[in-house]
């Protein structure tokens, strides 16, 4: 059954990845587009936190050091859809979008030496805006200025983590960043007999990125002891008996960094005049053409710090802080005057009873939120982002074919995000969005040698 689910997910991902956008935000016009969240569907349910999470049943792209906890093969994949309301001081519009989230496989390399690995495909950034402005030219013709952007950047990654000491986990990812981004600016007129113009620029990127991380995890540092009264064994048993229970909390601290890099990129540009009739475009003249030029795009390093406090198999509380200075972005000498970006995320996950016979008690309930001071700042106005998230992890029903350990921890992860970014002040755009993510996290015992033929 799980192999059928994996195959269906792969088919969906290939279908969605063909023409995906990933954003409808006008702010994706700047820099390398809107950055996509580099985490998994379960993490989105609790605000996107989790870089300190070190779990054998969930992968964690936010910190490759967590791969050292791999004890079983995991397959994780997800898709998302969004509905965004865009507002200015005098106009409102509603746009929708759907895109591929990610696909990843994680597995233990050596359970004895605590070495794990993973590989997969995850989005990096996306550009997807379409803006129109109307004006009257000197001849009295009504002109339409259109600004349109498309394209995306993705990462194919391979990562590994190991545990050199009892409480210390170290890991690294190597990624190949690839994709293309396009900008188009056109001037057209309501009078179709006039000649229109358009300016098209393309940028493509293909190069390597590297991430590294470390996690300190202690399962015995925090603990408490409680006395639980036992049930009487019979009507004559009047002497109270107590059971002493010692409870341990798992405490984690983490640090991770995506190393800065100069990635190879290629730019070209063409300016054309054209005519349009019944939706058909005829090129009138090529005003200028700049053939592809190879150069570098400088991506700034990012730093992420995390904290986690966990009662194993019951609840987990996580907080993350990340920072990245996008003022150091340089794409062929163009920086778009971006600024420093910071993010604070926090979330909570609760599973009433992971091994209960009642289905609702094995569901993982999640809630979280995050605040992002984005890289965008216009007219001295910061573009802040506030997001509330909720999520659930639905266990996939056990069957008689697969081992109970594998299927009892496989989940369908649903995450809902409600957020607001930007403002309508100073002629800016405010976004109010709802995003829905659906992912499947499958736990399987693969690569095990047979004991019996």
- Helix/strand/coil (H/E/C) assignment for every residue in 349-374: EECCCCCCCCHHHHCEEEEEEEEEEE
Q: Which residues make beta-bridge pairs with 165?
A: 168
Listed in sequence order, the DSSP H helices in 368-435 are 404-407
| Predicted local distance difference test score (pLDDT) of residue 447 | 53
| Predicted local distance difference test score (pLDDT) of residue 399 | 47
| Predicted local distance difference test score (pLDDT) of residue 186 | 92
pLDDT in tens, 214-263: 999 988 777 667 666 666 666 655 666 666 667 778 899 999 999 989 99
Longest dimension (CA), the chain: 105
Q: Spell out the long-range contacts of 328-332 with Cβ–Cβ below 8 A and sequence spacing 24 or more.
A: 328/260, 328/298, 328/300, 329/31, 329/32, 329/297, 329/298, 329/299, 329/300, 330/296, 330/297, 330/298, 331/31, 331/32, 331/203, 331/265, 331/297, 331/298, 332/265, 332/267, 332/293, 332/295, 332/297
Q: Which of 182, 209, 213 is nearest to 198 (CA)?
A: 182
| Predicted local distance difference test score (pLDDT) of residue 41 | 92
- What is the spatial distance between Cα 345 and Cα 370, in angstroms, rounded to a whole number? 4
Instruction: Report the chain (453 residues): mean pLDDT per 10 consecutive residues.
Output: 50 48 85 89 93 89 94 92 90 89 93 94 93 83 90 95 94 96 91 86 94 92 68 62 72 94 93 84 88 92 95 91 92 78 96 86 94 88 93 77 54 96 88 95 67 50
Which residues are CB-contacts of 215 (< 8 A; sequence separation ≥ 6)?
A: 52, 54, 63, 65, 66, 168, 169, 252, 253, 254
Token pair of 272, please?
């054309």
pTM, two decimal places: 0.86
């Amino acid at each position: 059954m799980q192999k059928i689910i994996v195959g269906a997910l792969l088919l969906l991902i290939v279908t969605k990845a063909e023409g995906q956008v990933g954003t409808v935000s006008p702010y994706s016009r700047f820099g390398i587009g809107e950055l996509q969240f580099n985490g998994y569907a379960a993490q989105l349910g609790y605000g996107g936190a989790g870089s300190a999470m070190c779990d054998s049943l969930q992968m964690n792209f936010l910190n490759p050091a967590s791969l050292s906890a791999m004890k079983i093969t995991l397959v994780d994949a997800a898709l998302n859809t969004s509905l965004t309301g865009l507002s200015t001081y005098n106009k409102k519009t509603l746009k929708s979008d759907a895109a591929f989230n990610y696909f990843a496989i994680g597995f233990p390399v050596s359970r004895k030496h605590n070495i794990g690995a993973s590989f997969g495909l995850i989005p990096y950034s996306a550009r997807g805006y379409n803006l129109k402005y109307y004006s009257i030219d000197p001849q009295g013709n009504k002109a339409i200025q259109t600004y349109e952007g498309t394209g995306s950047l993705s990462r194919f990654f391979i990562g590994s983590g190991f545990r050199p000491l009892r409480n210390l986990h170290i890991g690294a990812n190597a990624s190949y960043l690839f994709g293309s981004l396009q900008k188009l600016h056109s001037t057209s007129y309501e009078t179709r007999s006039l000649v229109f113009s358009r300016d098209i620029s393309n940028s493509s990127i293909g190069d390597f990125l590297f991430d590294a991380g470390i996690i300190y995890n202690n399962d015995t540092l925090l603990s408490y002891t409680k006395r639980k009264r036992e049930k009487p064994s019979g009507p004559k048993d009047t002497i109270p008996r107590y059971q002493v229970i010692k409870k341990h909390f798992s405490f984690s601290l983490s640090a991770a960094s995506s190393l800065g890099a100069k990635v190879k990129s290629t730019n070209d540009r063409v300016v054309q005049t054209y005519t349009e009739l019944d939706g058909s475009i005829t090129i009138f003249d090529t005003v200028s053409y700049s053939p592809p030029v190879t150069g570098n795009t400088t991506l700034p390093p990012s730093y992420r710090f995390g904290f986690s406090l966990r009662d194993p198999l019951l609840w987990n509380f996580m907080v993350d802080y990340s920072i990245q200075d996008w003022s150091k972005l340089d794409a062929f000498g163009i920086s778009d005057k971006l600024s420093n970006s910071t993010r604070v995320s926090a979330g909570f996950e609760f599973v009433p009873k992971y091994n209960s016979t009642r289905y609702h008690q094995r569901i993982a309930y999640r809630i979280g939120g995050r605040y992002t001071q984005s890289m965008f700042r216009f007219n001295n106005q910061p573009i802040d982002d506030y997001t509330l998230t909720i999520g659930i992890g639905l266990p996939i029903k056990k069957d008689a074919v697969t081992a109970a350990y594998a299927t009892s921890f496989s989940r369908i992860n649903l995450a809902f995000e409600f957020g607001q970014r930007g403002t309508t002040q100073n002629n800016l755009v405010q976004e109010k969005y709802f995003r829905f993510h659906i992912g499947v996290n499958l736990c399987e015992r693969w690569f095990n040698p047979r004991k019996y033929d």
